[in-house]
Structure formats: C-alpha cells, structure tokens
Structure 1
Amino acid sequence: MSSIPINATKKAVPPAMTPEERKVIFASSLGTVFEWYDFYLYGSLAAIIAKQFFAGLDAGSAFIFALLAFAAGFIVRPFGALVFGRLGDMIGRKYTFLVTILIMGLATFIVGILPNYESIGVAAPVILIALRMLQGLALGGEYGGAATYVAEHAPHGKRGAYTAWIQTTATLGLFLSLMVILGTRTAIGEAAFADWGWRIPFIVSIALLAISVWIRLSMNESPAFKKMKEEGKTSKAPLSESFGQWKNLKIVILALIGLTAGQAVVWYTGQFYALFFLTQALKVDGATANVLVAASLVIGTPFFIVFGALSDKIGRKPIIMAGCLIAALTFFPLFKALTQAANPDLATAQANAKVTITADPKECSFQFNPTGTKKFTSSCDIAKQVLAGASVSYDNIEATGPAKITVGTTVIEGYTSAGLAADEAKKKDAEFKKAVADALKAAGYPAKADPAKVDKLKIIVILTILVIYVTMVYGPIAAMLVEMFPTRIRYTSMSLPYHIGNGWFGGLLPTTAFAIVAQTGNMYNGLWYPIIIAGATFVIGMLFIKETKDVDIYADD
C-alpha cells in the first residue's frame, strides 16, 4: 500500500528544467510565432485580397467573401485538431510539429505566388480557399501540441508562467505580420503594394519556414510522452478514449462552453474585430490602423506572462473568469469611445442626422451567410447592406411596399434586384449607392476618418485595454487545458475544445457581427455576440469548472 503514494509523489514533482529544455521550449514558441504569422497575414490583408481574388463581385460582397474565406481557415481547425491530435498522442509531439509547420508554411508561400482572378478566373478564389483550409488544418494540430509540449517540460508550480509564452505567440505572430506589411508598404508605396507588393509578406515566409523546420528538427520529445511510450502506455485509440467515454467527453464539453468559447470571443474582439472596426466601420486608413494595433500589442503582450505566472499562485479559473466578465461589461463603452477618438465626425453625424429604413419586415433577412453563396435581393436587405457597409446606424420603421432610406429630409427609394438582368441590376445598384452616399455626405457623414482628427494616443489606450482583457483570458488557458486531461489523450482532448472555441466561436465573429449590425441597424450591436458568449462562459465556468493549478499532469489517468 505504501508504494502507491510514494510513486505518486515522484510523479507530482518533476525535476527542474535544464538549460537544454528551456532552449527546446523557446524553439517551440518561436516556431509557433512563425506559424501564427503565416495564418494572420491573410486577415491583415483581407481587403486587398478581396480585390485580387474576388474581382468578379462588387466591393462590399468581395470583402464579405474574403472574410468568409478567412473564416474557412477557422472552420476546419477542429478537424485538424482531431487528425493531428491523434497523431500527437500516438507517435509523439515532435514529429507532429514538423508536419504542421510544413503544411502551414508551404500553403502560405503558394498564396504569395498564386495568380489572381484576372489571370485565371474563378480558379483563383477556389485555390485560395483550399489553401486557407490547409492552413486551418495545420493550425488545428499546432496549438495543442505546443501547449502540451511546453507544459510537459515545465517545472511543477510554473506551468502557467511557461505556457504563457506559447500564449504570446499568437499576438507576436500578428505583430510580426503587421510589421512586415507596414515595412513593405513604406518601402514600395501604397499603389505598388496594392498591385503586387502584398505578395512579399507571403513569399518571405519561406525563409521563416526553413528556420522553423531547422528549429523543430533540433527539438527533443516531451519527457512525459517519452516516459509513457517506454512504459507502453500510449493510447491506441485516442479519439474513442477522448470522445467515446463520458468521463472524458464531459470534460471536453465543459472546457468548450465553460472556458474556450468565452476566451475566444474576448480574444478576437480585442485584437481582430478591433482592427476590422477601425478600418471598416470607422474608415481609418489601413496603415494607420495597423500601427495603432501594433503599438497596443507591444504594450499589452507582457501581460500574458504576468497573468500566466499569477495563475500559478492564485489559480487559472479566477483570472479567466474575471477577464470574461470585465470584457462583457465594458465592450460597449470602449467601442463607443473608440468611435469618438478615431472618427469624431461620424459620431457627430450619427447623433445629429437620423437615418431610418422603412420596410416590410417580411422582406428583411438575417444576413448571416457563412458560405458566401446566398444573394440578398429584397429591397429591405439591399438597403440594410448599403447602410451597414457605410457604417451608418439607423432605425427600422415597419411599413408595406418597397424599402426606402431616409437621411434627414432626403428620401431614397429602394429597389428589388430579383428578376433583373445582370447589367440592369448592376446599374440599379450603382445608382442606389450613389444616391445614398450623396445624402449621407450632405448630412455630414464622412467618407473616411479625417487624419487630423484621429486621436492616436486615446485609441492606443483603448486598444491596450482590450489587449489586456485578451491576456487575462488567454494567458492561463493553455496550462488549464493541459491540466484537465491525462497524458495519454491530452493532445487530442484539449485540442478539440480549444479549436471549436477559437475556430468557430471566434473565427466567425466578424461575419456574425456584420449580420447583427445589418439586421438591427446599430453599428455597435455586433458586440452583443461576444458579450453573450463571454457572459455564458462566465456563468458556466464559475458553476462547473474546477481549479486545476495543483493537478499532477504526470499521472497516467
């Protein structure tokens, strides 16, 4: 009887990390930075890629389609988690790393040399979305492996601090992509960058790929996995063990709805949606918005380590739950303050020049279109798309007949495109948009943010607050997810809820938010999506998630 607690004690206190192990963890984190850099290049250049690869569509639809192609990379992430999680639990962490980095790097490089719509027609967007899906599959296998690998090397009592370095890699990857884009733009000019220079950040990733492969070849296998393999205790069927047994499946479900869903929407609101909101809703030019977001990332990123290390002392759960709650309570005032700081003329126009849509509610659709294939043809939907695309908040008035937009005292009659020939529909669309734009201009709505009125310091402060929310929910979560599952199925079990949360709940945030804005008429109402999800995670997490910081991750069960 006495031998059991003695062995358990030995497992519970792994030896302190050696310099070589620290080097290996650094190499793992650096490789993950490169991988996130590859993945985020697309998001940062979505507007330009829309023009290059979706040129057969109007500008608004092209941007939405580009966002959906971006989302496609997220939708497949859970499938990557299943494929590579299984490999990682069966054959090891190291070789799975090599496969994921090769897929990601090569797919990114090919985007850089892929002919555009003008050159090869519809094949261009089809190939692009296929490459995005490959990137999503690779990333689905990356994170769980990196977090597991680092946690299994970390000294007992310091898992939060060590895995927090992995958490910085997504932000650092985004920062690196923004810096390469900004440097290229500055060196060759905006016109050349929009024409061909956007390809350079994708093409130079081949050098990052070479470095990452070299680094990962020099890494050692995780000691926990190596020990388990030597003892013959590796899982023969990690998928069925993880999801076919209720004792494990219920933890997977709780990890999703009580942790990662809320973490994901706070993460994507604080970093990506904030960038989209600046450029698309507030009409700040892309270069300025990138600099402002990059500045906030530089200031905020160290807090990943702060909150990761703090979670080793006070626990993972209170920090993550606090981040979800504070974000949910403050998103509305922060984004309204962002409007005042970035585009005060727009804020003034919205307050002084009321806009309404008078329409039959039966004609109005909820414009969530994740496949990018549905065409909205009713007069109500067309009117709402135009105003939402112009960042105009409006009130809805119920009436029968075709929709009409009222800006102050000006009334613009809507139209229905159903049944119209393509040329006629295009002409009607151009006339309608011009009439709306002219009325908005006369009412004081700006076509873009005035650079002289952009309060950069205030914007950086607001964006930094949003990044700090990200660090609260994201800094401790890798350690917590690792600690929730046994070694033999850890890679598989933690990867799936993480990537469903971040891939589906987070990745679809921009598209969902746009649909909510178009439906309700308020440019801020898209924030209800992350607020509700973060709030639900807070309630479920507080009630059902257990603290994990003192769990023995070297245990077999």
Structure 2
Amino acid sequence: MNINNNLHINKKPQSYLKTVVAACFGTFLEWYDFLTFGALAVTFGPLFFPSSDPSASLLASLATFGVGMIVRPIGAAFFGSLGDRIGRKPVFMITITIMGLATLLVGFLPIYSEIGIWAPILLVTLRILQGFSAGGEIGGGAIFLVEHAGKENRGFKTSFLQLMGPFGILASTLQITFLQRWLSPEEFQAWGWRIPFFISFLLLLLAIYFRKTLEETPIFEELKIKDLKTEGQLLNNFKDSEIRKRMFLLFFCVSGAGAILFFCTQIYLPIFLKTTVKLSAELVDQLSVLSTLFLVLSIIFAGWLSDRIGRKPVITSGLLLGALLILPAFWLMKEIGLNSHGLSTSDTFTISFIMLGLSLILGLLGGPQAAILAELFNSKSRNSAATFPHNLAAGWVGGTLPFIVTWANQATNSSLDGLWYPTVFLFVATILGLKFLPETSRNTLL
C-alpha cells in the first residue's frame, strides 16, 4: 500500500503550501526566540553576570546559552514519545506556547543590580524552559513536514523548514542592529535589549493562529486507523539494533555535524570576528546578513540536489569540506585582522568570500537534513527515534561549542586551538558517513 499516494492524491496544491507556511512560521519563532538570546550574549554578561573580568562574564553568558541546548534532549525525549502517542499537531501547539511565554518573561526580568543572584537564576530557569520546548519543536517540525510532503522531491520541499534557522538569525540580527542604531548605547543597555523579547509575544499569537489551522499528518492518521500503539516507543527504539544504529548515525553524521557547522559559522563566527579579528560590530552584522542570505540559497539548492543525486553524497561532501576548511578559514580571517591597520576593500571581500564559503558548506548538510531525519525511521518510531538524537546532538555537541571553543582558546592562550574540536569531529563524521550512512531518498515513509 503506497500511503503517500493514497493519502495525498486528493489534496489540492495549495494544501501543502499552507502546511509549509504554518509549520515554518512556528519553527521560525522557535529559532528567533532561541537565537535572540545568543545574539545578546555580550549584552547579558555585565547585566546578569557582572565581573571585573569581561571574559568571565562572556563565558557565563555563553554557558547560560549552552544550558538551553543541553536541556533540549530531555524535551525531545518527552515530546518525541508524546508525538508518537497523541499526534504531531498537539505537540506543536504545546511547544510553541512554552517557548513563547518563556521568551516573553525574559523581557520582564530584573537584572543583577536589582535583585542580585536571583537574576541569573531566573534567567537560567527561563533558558531551561526554552530548551525543553525547542527539543519537541526542532526535529518534530521536520517530521511533520516530511510526512505531509509525499514521495516526490521531499528534499526540496522540506528544505524550506531548514531556512527558519537562518531567518531566525537574520531577524534577530537585523532587529538588534536597528535597536542599537536607534538607541544610544546607554538606552540599549538599560532597557532596549528587552524589546525583542516583547515582540516575540506578538509572533507567538500569530504562530498559534497559524498552527490551529494545521491538519494532522496523513502518516499518523494511518497509524490511528491501524490502531498501532506506541507507548514507551523511545525505550523500544534502543532495543532494536537497526534503529539504534541509525539513531547513532543521525546523531553523529547529520545532526551533530550540522550543529557543529551551524554554531561555528552562525553563532561563534560573529563573536570571533568582533573579539579576535577586531572588526566593528556594524561591519560584522552586515557581513552576517550577507552570509545568511547566501545560506538560504545554499540550503534550497542542496535540498533540490539531494533529490537528484541522493542525500548521502550531498551530506558527506559537506562533512568533508567542513573538516578540511573550518580551521584554515578562521586562521586566515585572524591573519587579515592582525596584519591590517584598517580593513581594506580587498580584506573585506576576502572575509566575505570566506563567510559565503562556510555558508555553502553548512547548506550542504542543512538542505537534506529534514528529509533524511524522517526517512531513516519507520512511522511508528519516527518521532521519538529522530527527535532524541537530533536534539541530543544539537544540545550537547552544537550548543556547548561556543563555550568549549572559547574556554579552550583561553586555556591555551590562543584564538584558534579550540577549533580543533569541531575539525576532528567533522573528520570522524565524514569517515562514518561514507562507510555506514544509508541512502534514503527513495525510501517510503510508512
């Protein structure tokens, strides 16, 4: 029985577009909320973690960002199993509400000078709630979209979900840049940083409205018709050797490596350019916008390409290029900063070119990611089997990367030694991917 054809044959073309818009808007809000926190890491340092050492404040702020990522697997385990039991749509409504309310409350938090130690405690608590909800959303959103996509061109159709990360970065970066230009540094430090968190509440209302219009996925509807029980499915996944193997490959070769590249190129790189290369914040923000727009094109292209030549060749190409080029790229940007007494046009062009190249490498992993995440598993175990390793990788590998790299650099008194961690990880992921990662582009979804 071809479930995809039977359940999609009567759908109008607009139906999938409506699903994409509704699902993607909510995922965009998750990323916007999550990444606004990261974009304000430098601002949060003195407000919530005051210290005579600016590096210590920055480390504390980055650690708080990492806490939200570390909690993601717990949310994934809970909401992933819940999604296999009660459906994909109800979980969507729960996670978006938790994320939106937690983010709104960050905007109301008093700072350290007002309530002392309770300020960082409350900030960390809200960050934990953000991470918990993101664990159910990020990964679960990919499954929801893939199960609506049908059989043909799944890589291209679902690549649009992967744009929500870059769009979340773009929205938070542009918003903060605008606020920093509109307000004086004193005004932004005093109250301007709160505005993005208030805006998120308006976005939450829109997201809830859009998500109420979503239909449950046809794959899950078929599971209900067949009355297939999925209680305790996450534990059952670990008992199945084939599912366990695929969960490990997803963790290491797709989600872990993708998280490494994402946080290296989209989160850590702007910090590196501001603190090590000593570029102005305004120039870094402009270059970040340019590279993010290019990343959007790269993701769509890679998703389309994976439908033509397969998921595995596209993903392993990104893994190998990342392993080979991450460290040289950061080294070259540092050398440009050290040897320049004022950035020339050619220097700016070189740094821009490097950032675009890194965006292309990230796109090769990001484009097919949503599709392969769902295609690796059958429908009964998919939500729990995919979301847990995906969020474990994003949280424990990607989320801690800025902190680990910064700490390693400070421990060795170097600005580059910490980057050996992502480099080695990507080399190992390349070897594992080439040898063991299956091709999934022609898999059925049932």
Q: TM-score range by the shorter chain?
A: over 0.9
CA apart distance, 1:489: 1.5
Other-structure match for 1:210: 205
CA apart distance, 1:193: 1.0
Q: Pick closer, same or farther for the CA change 1:533–1:15 going to 2, 3 Å.
A: same
Contact 1:262 1:535 survives alignment (8 Å): no
Residue 151 (structure 1) aligned to one of 142, 146, 149: 146
Other-structure match for 1:539: 431
CA apart distance, 1:45: 0.7
Specify the SS of the correspondent of 1:184: helix
Contact 2:41 2:62 survives alignment (8 Å): yes
In the alignment, structure 1 residue 15 sits paired with structure 2 residue 11: no
Q: Pick closer, same or farther for the CA change 1:553–1:10 going to 2, 3 Å.
A: closer
Contact 1:241 1:248 survives alignment (8 Å): no
Q: Pick closer, same or farther for the CA change 1:454–1:55 going to 2, 3 Å.
A: farther
In the alignment, structure 1 residue 238 sits paired with structure 2 residue 233: yes
CA apart distance, 1:12: 6.8
Contact 2:84 2:384 survives alignment (8 Å): yes
Once the two structures are superposed, residues 156-184 of structure 1 have per-residue CA deviations (whole angstroms, 9 ceiling, x without a partner) of 12111111111111111111111111121
1:87-236 superposed matches below 5 A: 87-236=82-231
How many Å separate the matches in 1 of 2:6 and 2:260? 35
How many Å separate the matches in 2 of 1:97 and 1:308? 24
Aligned residue identity for 1:495: T
How many Å separate the matches in 2 of 1:533 and 1:209? 36
CA apart distance, 1:81: 0.4
CA apart distance, 1:477: 1.4
Contact 1:12 1:552 survives alignment (8 Å): no
CA apart distance, 1:57: 5.5
Other-structure match for 2:420: 528
1:247-326 superposed matches below 5 A: 247-326=242-321
How many Å separate the matches in 2 of 1:119 and 1:450? 41
How many Å separate the matches in 2 of 1:13 and 1:463? 44
Aligned residue identity for 2:376: M
Gaps of 5+ in 1: 1-6, 349-448
How many Å separate the matches in 1 of 2:289 and 2:432? 33
Once the two structures are superposed, residues 401-455 of structure 1 have per-residue CA deviations (whole angstroms, 9 ceiling, x without a partner) of xxxxxxxxxxxxxxxxxxxxxxxxxxxxxxxxxxxxxxxxxxxxxxxx8577894
How many Å separate the matches in 1 of 2:206 and 2:52? 39
CA apart distance, 1:26: 1.5
CA apart distance, 1:459: 2.4
In the alignment, structure 1 residue 458 sits paired with structure 2 residue 350: yes
Aligned residue identity for 1:15: H
Contact 1:258 1:544 survives alignment (8 Å): no
Aligned length: 444
In the alignment, structure 1 residue 511 sits paired with structure 2 residue 400: no
Contact 2:4 2:151 survives alignment (8 Å): no
Once the two structures are superposed, residues 316-369 of structure 1 have per-residue CA deviations (whole angstroms, 9 ceiling, x without a partner) of 11111110111111123221232244x2xx247xxxxxxxxxxxxxxxxxxxxx
How many Å separate the matches in 2 of 1:238 and 1:549? 25
- After superposition, the CA RMSD in angstroms is 1.9
CA apart distance, 1:524: 1.6
CA apart distance, 1:287: 3.2
Aligned residue identity for 2:247: V
1:16-35 superposed matches below 5 A: 18=12, 19-35=14-30
CA apart distance, 1:506: 0.9
CA apart distance, 1:10: 5.5
Aligned residue identity for 1:154: A
1:404-423 superposed matches below 5 A: none
Once the two structures are superposed, residues 64-99 of structure 1 have per-residue CA deviations (whole angstroms, 9 ceiling, x without a partner) of 000000000110111110011011111111110111
Aligned residue identity for 1:197: G
Once the two structures are superposed, residues 26-73 of structure 1 have per-residue CA deviations (whole angstroms, 9 ceiling, x without a partner) of 210111111100000011010111111112563221110000000001
Contact 2:30 2:134 survives alignment (8 Å): yes
In the alignment, structure 1 residue 474 sits paired with structure 2 residue 366: yes
CA apart distance, 1:494: 0.4
How many Å separate the matches in 2 of 1:310 and 1:111? 41
Aligned residue identity for 2:141: A
Q: Pick closer, same or farther for the CA change 1:99–1:57 going to 2, 3 Å.
A: farther
Aligned residue identity for 1:267: F
Contact 1:262 1:536 survives alignment (8 Å): no
How many Å separate the matches in 1 of 2:233 and 2:223? 14
Q: Pick closer, same or farther for the CA change 1:347–1:524 going to 2, 3 Å.
A: farther
**TM-score of the aligned structures, taking structure 2 as reference length:** 0.95
Aligned residue identity for 2:187: A
How many Å separate the matches in 2 of 1:304 and 1:251? 23
Q: Pick closer, same or farther for the CA change 1:515–1:59 going to 2, 3 Å.
A: closer
Q: Pick closer, same or farther for the CA change 1:527–1:450 going to 2, 3 Å.
A: same
How many Å separate the matches in 2 of 1:26 and 1:103? 20
Aligned residue identity for 1:272: I
Specify the SS of the correspondent of 2:444: coil
Specify the SS of the correspondent of 2:414: coil
How many Å separate the matches in 1 of 2:7 and 2:352? 42
Specify the SS of the correspondent of 1:301: helix
Other-structure match for 1:360: none
Contact 2:166 2:295 survives alignment (8 Å): no
Identity %: 33
CA apart distance, 1:466: 1.0
CA apart distance, 1:124: 0.3
Specify the SS of the correspondent of 1:553: coil
Specify the SS of the correspondent of 1:204: helix
CA apart distance, 1:521: 3.5
Between 1:460-469 and 1:169-178, the stretch displaced more is 460-469
Specify the SS of the correspondent of 1:487: coil
Once the two structures are superposed, residues 458-511 of structure 1 have per-residue CA deviations (whole angstroms, 9 ceiling, x without a partner) of 322221111111111111011111001111111111011111111111111112
Contact 1:266 1:327 survives alignment (8 Å): yes
Which of the pair is proportionally richer in helix? 2
Q: Pick closer, same or farther for the CA change 1:314–1:454 going to 2, 3 Å.
A: closer
Q: Pick closer, same or farther for the CA change 1:250–1:299 going to 2, 3 Å.
A: closer
Once the two structures are superposed, residues 172-226 of structure 1 have per-residue CA deviations (whole angstroms, 9 ceiling, x without a partner) of 1111111111121122233311221111111111101111111111111111111
How many Å separate the matches in 1 of 2:383 and 2:17? 21
Once the two structures are superposed, residues 226-248 of structure 1 have per-residue CA deviations (whole angstroms, 9 ceiling, x without a partner) of 12112211412222222233332
